[in-house]
Chain A
């Protein structure tokens, strides 16, 4: 009898100004858990890191997928940039592999299904994975603030882009043996 623990879990995290969205996948079409966490405390970075560590401790993912933040074209505040760096350090301390996906890579991944904008990508995800279909955010107008559900779809897009790379699990050999 084998130990049934979630194997090959991939955790994708998308940060936004009020907190972060996360999704855990067992496989490209098998979401295991997902959600958004709003950090209400003053020091949002510390609060985010505490929640991220809680997630990692709970699920022990093999891979953490985050957005690429090094490019100059990525409009992110210095706080979010710093938070991404802190997340990378946290993952390293927890022995979790980190993969980064740039926005252009995500767009290229979804271009095959004709999705270019965030809204179109979210719709494509909802079509591919029905579990997220009822969480689809309404189309954003110019005067509307960002919907936290959109961040959830951004996190899913990161995970699916990672799977699209076809990188084998870092522990595939151990599992096979």
Chain B
């Protein structure tokens, strides 16, 4: 992914636009990626057992999370990290991408809006935004290769 921060007039890059259109997880052409079901089956857990670990009441709800029809709660995602030792970003990569796309879009806009700032607070924020954009670029390049 390429993110340009220098020119104010530069258009928002296509990947961000495409990502926004695909935020509805139930209507993507290719299935959203989720490794929860894979991990559960690798370790021989039943849906009922995993649902209990994740603090989910029913198998149906877990099934929706496994099939990316529903996002897990932060408690459930952290429970998965405790159980499998895999961070939520790796366990629910599609969900992470969706969130990252939205946040980076906002960050980019705020970064541009603060381009003329001279206040220490504004400069500090801009530094944070630049770091976030750089991280997103590095992550994007790593995923591309």
Residues of A that sit less than 8 Å from B by CB: 1-6, 31-34, 58-60, 130-131, 134
Contact = CB atoms under 8 A, between A and B. Distances in A.
B144 A5 contact: no
Interface stretch (B33-41, B50-58, B69-77): B33-41
A1 B100 contact: yes
A58 to B, nearest CB: 6
A1 B104 contact: yes
B140 A31 contact: no
Given A31-B38, A131-B41, A131-B42, A1 B32 contact: no
A4 B19 CA distance: 11
B30 A5 contact: yes
Interface residues of B, number: 25
Contacts of A60: 30-31
Contact of B97 (A3, A32, A33, A59): A3
Given A4-B97, A134-B44, A59 B31 contact: yes
Top 6 A-B pairs, shortest CB-CB distance? A4-B93, A131-B42, A2-B143, A5-B30, A4-B33, A134-B44
B122 interface: no
Contact of B15 (A1, A32, A59, A130): A1
Contacts of B144: 2
B57 to A, nearest CB: 25
Given A33-B37, A134-B44, A5 B32 contact: yes
B125 interface: no
A33 B139 contact: no
Contacts of A4: 32-33, 93-94, 96-97, 143
Given A6-B33, A59-B31, A60-B30, A1 B41 contact: no
B136 A33 contact: no
Contacts of A34: 41
A1 B38 contact: no
Contacts of A5: 30-33, 94
Contacts of A130: 42
Nearest to A6: B33
Interface string B9-30: 0000001000100100000001
A92 B139 CA distance: 35
B93 A1 contact: no
Nearest to A135: B44
Contacts of A58: 31
A1 B3 CA distance: 10
A21 to B, nearest CB: 14
Contacts of B42: 31, 130-131
Contact of A1 (B30, B31, B33, B97): B97
Nearest to B44: A134
B136 A32 contact: no
